[in-house]
DNA sequence: CGATAAGGTTTCGTTACGCAACTTGCAAAA
DNA sequence: TTTTGCAAGTTGCGTAACGAAACCTTATCG
């Protein structure tokens, strides 16, 4: 009678939820993007119970989304930092932010903004492109179920795992 | 001692999680994208308990992500369909799918594919653009906390709510 | 009328969450 | 050297959410 797991579902959404689908997890990741690194920083920022935070951080480290580093500084024991895998979640966070921007906040301002370091240009939208980089019309999308045996052609970034 | 709510957090990620952050909710939305409309279809597809499914469907309808329609067909039943707000979640699902494609599945195939209706070109990546539509370098992003009083300039699609 | 099916609701046991109190490790103050 | 103090947890306990199965309701079919 334990909580159902999504491990065996052959679906990317389910697999992602398996790793970051817990109630607090994505907010911890969001805070990590905001350069929070310490246990107490997450705790104060989120108002999360310490045992829950402890558990979520452990799972995030286990899943390779955060890495735990021991610090020598006085007053600071550990630092939790995003790995490459963790930083790659920015698209998920951005998609959620943009959705809420439109459907929840309405005209209110949102506090988390992604922007280019140099120009400070903000990410205002996400654009879907095919494997050649050509835009795909969002209004004319259909979803196809699988399993579709397809070869992923030439990935820009090889060496995906770690 | 109820579960902590994210309502009051002035953060788009939190607001989105408040509506679709429950354990099963995004999988129900995914199934809705796959043209499932009936209670029993969701139930069989997901293996979710009926009371949980009932509760999640109700909340999704309350939040305007699904709409419940009474059908006249024999066997008289209901259909749950995505609203515009619900269909707008495709970016979130796609971002999650692409992430798992890279970090979970590795070389395995994924079963949920978004593609253009006419050309059948698949969405292979999401591209961040600024408000002028110019691409923003993903590698050089920084995250800024708010609240940043910014005016959202000329949205492509006005009339956001409904 | 009885059987069957969709779409739930109820009941009940287990798991997860939330809170407070306690523990541990280290470092600086007294 | 003892004490204080903070970071980073762990433990115990009560409540809320979840999961499975049984039950209910409405409608159709024979």
Contact by Cβ (8 Å): A129, B125? yes
Q: How far is CA B156 from the centre of its chain?
A: 20
Report yes or no: B34 and A117 within 8 Å, Cβ to Cβ.
no
Cβ-Cβ contacts under 8 Å for B109 (sequence gap 6 or more): A146, A147, A148, A149, A150
Q: What is the mean pLDDT of residues A37-59?
A: 93
Residue B37: pLDDT over 80: yes
Cα–Cα distance measured from residue B32 to residue A137, given in angstroms and rounded to the nearest whole number = 20
Average pLDDT over residues A29-43: 93
Best residue in A27, A98, A124, A137 to probe B by mutation, most B CBs within 10 Å? A124
Q: What letters, b where the CB count within 10 A reaches 16 and e where it falls short, cover A90-104?
A: bbbbbbbbbbbbbbb
SS3 for B80?
strand
pLDDT at residue B108 in the model: 55
Smallest CA–C1' distance to D18, residue:
A3
Q: What is the predicted pLDDT for the residue at B106?
A: 66
B82 — phi, psi (to 5°)? Answer: -65, 135
CA dist., res. A96 & res. A44, Å (int): 23
Contact B137 A121 (CB under 8 A): no
Confidence of residue B145 (pLDDT cuts 50, 70, 90): low
d(CA B135, CA B118): 25
Residue A105 sits at φ, ψ, to 5 deg, of -75, -30
User: Which one has a higher pLDDT value, B150 or B83?
Assistant: B83
Query: What percentage of chain B exceeds 90 in pLDDT?
Result: 46
Residue in B116, B131, B143 nearest the CB of A140: B116
Tokens of A34: 């905001």
DSSP-assigned letters across all residues of A140-160 = GEEEE-S---------SS---
Work out the percent of chain B whose per-residue pLDDT is above 70.
82
Q: Which residue has the higher pLDDT, B145 or A82?
A: A82
Mean residue pLDDT of chain A comes to 82
Nucleotide D9: nearest residue by CA–C1'?
A: A54
The tokens for B3 are 């579960």
Assess whether pLDDT exceeds 60 at residue B159.
no
Which residue does chain A place closest to B92, by CA atoms?
A: A95
Residues of A numbered 69-108 whose beta carbons fall under 8 angstroms of chain B's beta carbons: which are they? 85, 88-108
pLDDT score for B137:
82
Confidence of residue A40 (pLDDT cuts 50, 70, 90): very high
* Minimal Cβ distance to B15: which of A34, A104, A115: A104
- Name the minimum distance, in Å, from the CA of A122 to any CA of chain B: 6
Q: How confident is the model over B65-76, as pLDDT tens digits?
A: 999 998 877 766
Confidence of residue B59 (pLDDT cuts 50, 70, 90): very high
CB contact under 8 A, B130 and A109: no
Say which residue, B108 or A34, is predicted with more confidence: A34
Segment B103-127 mean pLDDT: 78
Q: Looking at A11-15, A63-67, B74-78, B88-92, which range is the least confident one?
A: B74-78
Strand D contact with A4 (CB < 7 A) = yes
Among chain B residues 67 through 126, which have CB within 7 angstroms of nucleic chain D?
74-76
């Amino acid at each position: 009678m334990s909580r159902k797991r999504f491990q065996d579902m052959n679906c990317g959404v389910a697999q992602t939820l398996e790793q970051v689908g817990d109630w607090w997890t994505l907010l911890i990741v969001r805070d990590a993007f905001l350069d929070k690194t310490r246990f107490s920083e997450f705790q104060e920022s989120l108002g999360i119970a310490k045992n829950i935070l402890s558990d979520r951080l452990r799972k995030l480290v286990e899943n390779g989304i955060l890495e735990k580093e021991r610090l020598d500084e006085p007053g600071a024991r550990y630092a939790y930092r995003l790995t490459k895998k963790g930083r790659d979640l920015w698209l998920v966070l951005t998609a959620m932010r943009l959705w809420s921007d439109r459907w929840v906040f309405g005209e209110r301002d949102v506090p988390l903004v992604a922007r280019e370091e140099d120009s400070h240009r903000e990410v205002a939208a996400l654009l879907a492109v095919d494997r050649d980089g050509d835009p795909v019309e969002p209004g004319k999308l259909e979803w196809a179920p699988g399993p579709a045996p397809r070869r992923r052609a030439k990935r820009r970034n090889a060496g995906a795992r770690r």
